[in-house]
Structures are given as C-alpha cells and as structure tokens.
Amino acid sequence: MKHQNKSALRRAIFASGLAACALAAPARPWSDPGRSPDARARTLVRQLTDAEKFQLIHSLFGEPDAAHKWSMPAGAIGSAGYVPGIPRLGIPAQQQSDAGLGVANPINVRPGDVATALPSGLATAASWDPKIAFAGGAMIGGEAWHKGFNVLLAGGVDLQRDPRNGRNFEYAGEDPLLAGTLVGETVRGIQSQHVLSTVKHYALNDQETARTTIDVRIGERAMRESDLLAFELAIARGRPGSVMCSYNKVNGDWACENDFLLNQVLKKDWRYPGFVMSDWGATHSAAKAANAGLDQESAAEVFDKEVYFDAPLKQALAHGEVSHARLDDMVTRILRSMFAVGLFDHPPQKGPVDVNANLAVAQHALEAGAVLLRNERTLLPLASDLHSIAVIGAHADKGVLAGGGSSMVIPRGGNAVTGLEPATWPGPVTYDPSSPLKAIRAAAGHARVEFASGDDPAAAAALARQAQVAVVFVQQWAAESFDAADLTLPDKQDALVAAVAKANPRTVVVLETNSPVAMPWLDRVGAVLEAWYPGNAGGQAIANLLFGRVNPSGRLPITWPRDLSQLPRPQLPGAVAAPGTPPPATADYAIEGADVGYRWFQRQPLQPLFPFGFGLSYTSFAQGAPQVAVHGGLPRVSVEVRNTGSRAGADVVQIYAQLPGNPIRRLAGFAKVTLAPGQTRTVEVPLEPRLLSEFDMAKRRWIIRGGSYAIYAGRSATDLSAAVRVQLPAQTL
C-alpha cells in the first residue's frame, strides 16, 4: 500500500511537471530568441492571413503630403516609410527613416526632430578605416533607435563613375573594395543597434540625370567586377536586412523588376536571405516585379502610378501569374530580416542620447577623412604664434555646408544659414551650425582673426593683404535629383580665391564640396584641404586639422581629374538641358566597363590632378618593399612602415595586384596604421580573393586563373613599389 502511494505520488509529480512545462512553453514559438531567424520566420508566416501578408509587402509614406492629399498614417512617427504592425501576432511596425549620413527628416520637421549629421560618405571612405565607418553607423543606429525608428535607408554604395553626380557625397568612392568594405562596416554598425539597414541603390544608379528613365548599358562581366562587386562585398560584410533597388533600368529592365539583378545575382549567386525593397517611385509592375524578386513596394500611394502590390498583385495571384509560394517567400524574407536584426526582441525605446559622444563621432570621422591635397613650404599646420588670420567665404562665420535631398539631416542647433535657394526639394540648403571661424578663433589664442563674406573679392583681398595667413572657404552645393553641369565652383568663387592668393601667397583653401572640382588657382595657393561636407562638428574638426592638433590622414577615395576631357563621358547629356530638351535614353557604361576611376586613368593612360589614394600628412613615412608569401593558394602581404618625421600620424598601406595578361593594377587590400615619430611597425594586409580573380561567365563563379601575379605596395594608385612576382595556383572561389 505504501509502495502504491509512492508510485501514485511520483506519477502526480511527473504530470504536474509536464503541465508546468506546457505552461512555460511560449505560446508564440516564433518569439523564442533561441531559434534561428529562418525558423522563426517560417513558423510565423504560417499564422498570417493573406490580408496580413499583403500588409507587410508594401509600405505607406510616413509623412503627410499635401500635393497628393496624403495624411500621415495612424501609428507612423513621421518619416520615409511605415509598415503597420500586426499586434495579434506580435509583429512590430516598421518605422523607416532616410539615413545616409544621419537620421534624416527633411520634411514637416517637428520640435526635437534633429539629429547628429556625419560628414559626407566620401569623408568616411577617405578615412580608409573600417572602425570609423562602424562607429558612424553605430551612432546613427543608436540615435534612430532612441527616436523610435527601426529601419534605416542607409548604405549607399553606388560607385563614382562621374564627379558630377549629385549624390556622390552619399557614397563611398570609385573602388569596389574600398566602397564595399566601408559601407559594409557602416551597415554592420547600424544593425549592431538592432536597427535594420538597407544597402542601396541596387544597381548602377551612378548618375542623377534622368535617373527615373535612364537605361544603363554595360556587359555582365564588367558590372560583376565593378558596381556589383561593391554590393557583393558590402552585403557579405554588413549583412543588411534589406537591399533597395534603384530607379534606373539596367540593360533594358527596370532595376526593381530585373530578374538578373534580383533573382539570379542577389538571391541565387550571393544567397542573400533578406528582402528587396523598392526605392520611392521605382516600382512599375505587379507580377513582373514580384516574380523578378521585389519583396516590398515602397510608399506607392504617393510615389508610384498605383499600388502594384495590392489589387494588381492579388489579381495576378488569382490568375496564377504569381504563385502563393512566391508571396510567402516575400513575407518570409521580410520577417526573417526583422528577426535577424532584433526588431522583435529589441524594440526601440524613445529617449535621450549622449549628444556630446555622438558629436565626437562626427568630429572624429572628419578628422580621419579630410584630405590634405597641397602644403607648400609647410604652410600647414598654422603656427601657434600667428598674430593675424583672415577667414573668408562660404558662411564660415556660421557653419559648414551639407548636401541636399533625402539624406539631408536637420542638424542639432538647426540650419545655421536660412533663406537660401532652393528652399524646397531637394533643399532647403542647409549649414550645420559648427562655425569654422569660431573654432579658428579659439585655436588661434591671442591672434586677431577677422572674417569677410567673400561676396566682394576686392574687400576679401584687402583683408587678406593685412593678415599673415588667409584661410578661404569655398563650397559646392549638390543634392539628390540633379547633376552638376561641370567641375567649376559656382558663384565666381574661383575669382575670389585668385584675388586672395594674389594679395597673400600664404593662402589656405578649405574645400566643402560634393566631389572633385576644378582648381585653376591651385599653383598660386599655399595649401588645400578637402573637407567634403564636414558634418555637425565640422568647424571644430577643421580648426584642429589646420592648427595641427590632428594630423591629416585622409586619402582620396576617388581620382581627381584635371578636367572633363579625362572622363569616359566628357559630356553629360541632360545635366543642364534647356527646357523641353528630352533627357538621354541611355548611359553607356561599357566605355570604361569595370575599369572605373583610377583603372580608367591607367588604361588610357592619363595623369590625374590627384590620384586615387593620395593624401599628405604633417609627418613623413617610409614603406619597405612588400613581403609576399603564399598560403593555401592565396598571397599574404606584409609591409614595414616607419614614421620618419617629427609628428605622430597615420599612413595607409595600399596593396595593388596585377593579374596575368591584364595590364591594369587594382586595389586588393589596405590597412591604416598610426605611428609615433620614429616608430616602425610591420603591417599585414589581407587581400580580397575576388580582386585577384576574374568573373568566369561560363562557370558563373570567381576564378583565380593561376600564373604570375604582380603585387605592389604604396601610398596611392600612382606611388607604388617595384612589383613583387608571385605564382598562384588556379582555383575557383
């Protein structure tokens, strides 16, 4: 009897334990963070109704728009896009913000809708430092998370094929390895804050002129080894939750319904598990777009001719033109990315951010990415015992210029210069309120620092004549939706610089530009510092660089041409077309193909004004011959670097490879190293195997052909060591 009682008791305890486990098990298995994102997404999609699936595959415009009689959707916090959540299943809303250089909200700004503006993407690329890119991304992601956003339209990686492109400042230069690496790190930084990031604009959106109609023509191998390689590297490194397809056509098909780009390359060859969203206004069909690989249509009610991923797609499903399996795949990819980045498990929490820490990130980015292009007779850094300095031009008394369009950030402190045209899209023209004049005065100690607007070149020259040093700021505003007509600085600024330089040969020019500009006065000035668009702490960073508190270490991520005749397309039809002139129908990128930027200059051959990778320092460096060893069929390169000057500084070791039978050298690896005066360090530089390869069209794979490869080390694309020859075996990556 006692034994029976014990057995019954054990059975009762066991049964109660099972009941307790059943109660403890999650009612929503997709909420279990211990499961993979793929498993969670597959489980959840089975719970969705068709109506709920359609809710997830198109976003609403997240702002009011009077022109389209569009009101802000209920639940949206106000920005580029909004996808309502599904509370019954615990699916959070997608709050999407533009965020090329910071959390952008250029329209309908409400009190408090400000953010920290980074310097331009070219400044980050010019740092040649993945840590700078990651820190910038993490800062943007953190600010977005604290504002309530969980999706950022960031990660611009379109290559610079033309210095006139109005969006070059959003991107990362002309080289696929440098751009892919730095943009990948930016994306990785954003997503470290549980905010989903895109990469964009996929693909070959390399000009703004006629961007919504232009058909880009280029061969497959050439695009695989240039623009697509930049995307491939950025996606592999950053693992973005989404890829944004672009406005343009590629070889006859719209990018957002381009089966080759979306299905064959992105999802099949690269095995990309995330989702493809369209750019705002880039969707042109329902069945074709869905079958080609588009997963989410963006803000269609305002920007597309109709909401294709609603009634038209439902009709296509009913007629069997699109399968229900494809609809499930679209939704699964969206949910999978949301799980992978942490949108379910780490929802945004609105709250304050560490403003000073974030401004320090922006300041450090410019200090690492500003490029010293000229420094005759060591005019820079400015001496500490100066008694008079003239500061001239570009509203330097108030702030620093920012680029326009969807990436424009309403900066902390507001627009420092108001009333400029254009006041509406792609404006307003905005200046971050970080005054170089104020920072220079603080750094100059007891020196007299006076300012002239530059509107009157004669008055500016008179002021410069009375000063020991003149610092002239010049600017070039650029924005999304248009390209520059040429490389000339606007508003007669060349005449201003010439007048000041004639009055005072100790003239320093600080460039705040989108991209390269013509400098007819270059030989008459003492120093030139490219500060790009400097960002929310740009004034302080520029002063630190001018006075040597920071040693410039930026290197050009682009080739600086002497003039337009050196470009593959000297004419840019439509950029300044007269009213009524039809836009160009096509853009021929087959001219240079994969040989973008410095590789084009090698091929021609041409001597640029400043080569890719170039940048001066306040110290000097010596690089030893590269030491190359082959391990596992791939080369490993090490270079001894010595700081031979009297200041601490950073050098960038650039490794270029020349493949058998190909005369063009291509960047295959790089590393930035900081050294104290007299310090020597051996730097190991990993090489990217795809830059030692060719894309084999028959095998549809990257192939190292094998044979004798030439490896060069140096400090720019034209300042290189003697070649070191190394034999590599044939292999498939």
Q: Which amino acid type is present at position 131? A: K
What's the Cα-to-Cα distance from 222 to each of 225, 430, 584, rounded to whole Å?
Answer: 5, 38, 22
Residues 108 and 214 in one domain: yes
Residue 315 backbone phi and psi in degrees, to 5: -65, -40
Residue pointed to by tokens 């294709």: 308
* Residue 646 CB neighbours (<10 A): 11
3-state secondary structure 195-249: CEEEEEEECCCCCCCCCCCCEEECCHHHHHCCHHHHHHHHHHHHCCCEEEECCCE
Domain span at 433: 370-550
Whole-number pLDDT of residue 582 = 83
* Residue 357 CB neighbours (<10 A): 11
Token pair, residue 217, equals: 């023509």
Alpha-carbon distance of 602 to 656, in angstroms, equals: 13
Alpha-carbon distance of 521 to 497, in angstroms, equals: 7
Residues 400 and 443 in one domain: yes
Decide if 694 contacts 709 (C-beta within 8 A): no
The answer to whether residue 673 is domain-embedded is yes
Residues 147 and 235 in one domain: yes
The answer to whether residue 5 is domain-embedded is no
Decide if 306 contacts 270 (C-beta within 8 A): no
Residues 544 and 640 in one domain: no
* Residue 5 CB neighbours (<10 A): 9
The answer to whether residue 474 is domain-embedded is yes
Residues 174 and 84 in one domain: yes
> Could you tell me the mean pLDDT of each successive run of 10 residues in the chain, 733 residues long?
43 41 61 97 98 98 87 92 97 96 70 85 98 98 96 98 97 98 98 98 97 97 98 98 98 98 98 98 98 98 97 98 98 98 97 95 98 97 96 98 94 92 93 97 96 98 98 97 95 98 98 98 98 98 98 98 97 76 91 98 98 98 96 94 98 98 97 98 96 95 96 97 96 93
Decide if 167 contacts 212 (C-beta within 8 A): no
Q: Taken in order 247, 174, 562, 547, is the CA torsion positive or negative?
A: positive
Residues 166 and 80 in one domain: yes
CATH number of the structural domain spanning residue 326: 3.20.20.300
Q: What is the DSSP letter of 165?
A: -
Residues 294 and 374 in one domain: no
pLDDT in tens, 530-567: 999 999 999 999 999 999 999 999 999 999 999 999 99
Please spell the DSSP secondary structure of 100-143, one letter per residue.
SSS----SS--TT--BPPPPPHHHHHHTT-HHHHHHHHHHHHHH
Nearest CA to 130 out of 352, 369, 356 is that of: 369
The answer to whether residue 558 is domain-embedded is no
Residues 333 and 217 in one domain: yes
Helix (H, G, I), strand (E, B) or coil at 2: helix
What's the structural domain count of the chain?
3
The long-range contacts involving 666-670, CB below 8 angstroms and separated by at least 24 positions, are 666/177, 666/599, 666/691, 667/175, 667/177, 667/178, 667/612, 667/613, 667/691, 667/717, 668/177, 668/692, 668/711, 669/177, 669/637, 670/128, 670/177, 670/178
Whole-number pLDDT of residue 110 = 58
Residues 443 and 331 in one domain: no
Question: Between β-strands 249-250 and 253-254, what pairing exists: parallel, antiparallel or unpaired?
Answer: antiparallel
Whole-number pLDDT of residue 412 = 86
Q: Name the domain boundary from 326, 341, 356.
A: 341
Token pair, residue 477, equals: 């505003």
Alpha-carbon distance of 698 to 512, in angstroms, equals: 46
CATH number of the structural domain spanning residue 530: 3.40.50.1700
Q: Taken in order 551, 556, 562, 563, is the CA torsion positive or negative?
A: negative
Residues 320 and 375 in one domain: no
Alpha-carbon distance of 646 to 430, in angstroms, equals: 39
The answer to whether residue 647 is domain-embedded is yes
Please measure the distance between the N-terminal and C-terminal CA atoms of the chain and give it in whole angstroms.
73
The answer to whether residue 589 is domain-embedded is no
pLDDT in tens, 383-401: 989 999 999 999 999 999 9
Alpha-carbon distance of 670 to 126, in angstroms, equals: 12
For residue 488, the number of C-alpha atoms closer than 13 Å in the C-beta half-sphere is 8
Return all residues near 156 (Cβ < 8 A) that are at least 6 apart: 100, 121, 167, 170, 171, 172, 183, 199, 200, 201, 407
Please spell the DSSP secondary structure of 548-607, one letter per residue.
TSS------SS-B-SSGGGSS-S--TTTTPPTTPPPPSEEETTTTTT--THHHHHHTT--
Alpha-carbon distance of 236 to 101, in angstroms, equals: 21
The answer to whether residue 22 is domain-embedded is no
Residues 326 and 374 in one domain: no
Nearest CA to 128 out of 624, 661, 685 is that of: 685
Whole-number pLDDT of residue 27 = 83
The answer to whether residue 555 is domain-embedded is no
Tell me whether residue 51 is exposed, middle or buried, using C-beta atoms within 10 angstroms of its C-beta: 0 to 12, 13 to 18, 19 or more: exposed
Q: Name the domain boundary from 491, 522, 550.
A: 550
Return all residues near 14 (Cβ < 8 A) that are at least 6 apart: none
Residue 682, beta-bridge partner list: 640
Token pair, residue 241, equals: 């939750």
Note the pTM of the prediction, 2 decimals: 0.95
Residue pointed to by tokens 């009375």: 466
Whole-number pLDDT of residue 577 = 65
**Angle 238-176-247 from CA coordinates, rounded to 5°:** 80
Alpha-carbon distance of 239 to 137, in angstroms, equals: 13
Nearest CA to 186 out of 447, 407, 439, 17 is that of: 407
Q: Name the domain boundary from 527, 550, 573.
A: 550
Helix axes 130-147, 176-191, angle to 10 degrees: 40
Residues 332 and 388 in one domain: no
Alpha-carbon distance of 602 to 252, in angstroms, equals: 30
Decide if 408 contacts 79 (C-beta within 8 A): no
Give the residue numbers annotated as catalytic, written as ranges: 279
Strands (E), 644-719: 649-658, 665-675, 680-685, 694-696, 701-704, 707-714
Residue pointed to by tokens 């991304």: 137
